[in-house]
Chain A
Amino acid sequence: MRRGLGIFVAVLVVVALGFAGWLYLGRNPLGFAGGSTVALASYQGATVTGAPTALAFADLVKRGEYLTHAADCQACHTAPGGAPFAGGFAFNMPFGTIYSTNITPDKETGIGNYSDAQFLAAMHRGIRADGEKLYPAMPYASYSLMTDADALAIKAYLFTLTPVKAPAKSNQLSWPFNQRGLIALWNVAFNPDERFRPNTGQSPQWNRGAYLAEAMGHCGECHTPRNFAFALDNHDKFAGALTAGWRAYNISSDKTSGIGDWSDADLYAYLATGHANGHGGAAGPMGEAADDSLSYLTPDDTHALVAYLRSIPARASDLPRTVTTAAPASYKEGATAQANMRGEKIFAGACASCHDWTGVSPVTGFATLTGVRAVNDPSATNVAQTVINGVSRKTADGKIFMPAFGGGYSDDDIAAVANYVTARFGAKGADLTAKDVAALKQQAAQQSKEAPNG
């Protein structure tokens, strides 16, 4: 009996240690690359941190501005319709709502009084100036890879902004998530607080890409699934996850469900403009990442990102292979009308004039549905979100606009049309209900703003 218990405890300890080890391995976003790493100071290759060479002679603020874009601070620190960087953007989490804070240099309500050390503590360790711990909705576990110099360049830029008086909104979190003390434990487990270490077995371009993706752009925060403790699980690095009601797709090298069979040119185009012909365009949070961050990167940096993404091991997720052939020209053929008459009629009225019954837009490549991953996602999460929130983006290639239907159409209608679109243009029709749509509306951060003009 006692023996049995002893074995049980031993097994438990081994399992627990194994689990801890597994978690530990999972927390390193760069672990997959193997090989050896060195401290930045001892790295022999070309510089992989900081602003790109084009800005090498620019002043600190200019470099800081570039890095602020690269780290995509603006998207999360700006409420819809609010002043940039003044915070107030709501993150609707399963356990409550967290608001981003004001990072303009206002002394009272912003970060105007932050010393360099205080700023670094926030960026690397998630500690506010008053010593209080930030929620990891602020991606400091990623930013901890950022060099001090880069973080302080960002600070220098932020301090040139016009101070905006915008007091923090109070978070609405349920117990125990409202206990900031618990974050200390989380930090011990999931934030190693180490700066980026170049990998000597990889090219300088790869290392630059890795720095941009991990320390700056924090791609994994959306694209990597999370473990039970809400920390990134890099065993499934970039294999896709549901974040804020939107699906961040698998961007590992898997050919079926990832980006393994995208060409370099397509990947480059997508990163540079948020749109690639034949693959569709970014909407929702990725649209914001494209507009506020990725589109500002220099071509070299974007190429570095492509090189880095190419190296992510393939991880299959449950997405079917994308259908790349157009649907029939007549509404009568293809996905049958009988199955979802409501969806078809709504599509006919509100959608067909731009997207066409074939899915290939007669108007603009931006509106082509054929080959778009969201349409091939049988959960229809992003299709529904796009219908609800619309798209309003400006890219180098032009304006991408789709009106938001969430305010005028019922949840039933939105479910019906999302089901119809995925059935007609994708691999498999979705099965959303009005309840699902209501839940998606809840999860999405905030309604995006519509264009002010026709």
Chain B
Amino acid sequence: MKKFLAILTAVLAIGALQGNALAADKHKVVYHVNGGDEKQHMATLRNIQNHINAVGKDNLDLRVVMHGNGLDLVQSAKKNNDIASNIDKLKIQGVAFNVCGNTLKGKKLDAKKDLYDVSQKDIVPSGVAEIAILQNKGFAYIKP
């Protein structure tokens, strides 16, 4: 009986630990982009790729949130093939690129026409609020 209970306890303890390990979430990271020129944008995309290389794409929930002049990133990708192809590569690896709805309104931009590969589901109401919400959900904040 004692042995049985001891074993039962051990099994349960191991189970609990395992559950813990499984439930341990992916790394959650938000990259904040609110300005910069094409050179800086290329550097940001490289940062993100290096981040994925280091951690593995399956272990990451990575979001890029753009607002204000940060929208230049997806605007310049319309013309700059290097930026566009880097965005494509990152998207295949699960990176989300979100743009700020307020900025779209403020700058009178048409997401479909003016921005590279931005659909309705990529638009958040407020970029700044989105970053705050993500941090509340445990996302680490990185401003490259």
Does B associate with A?
no
The chain B residues found within 8 Å of chain A, CB to CB, are none
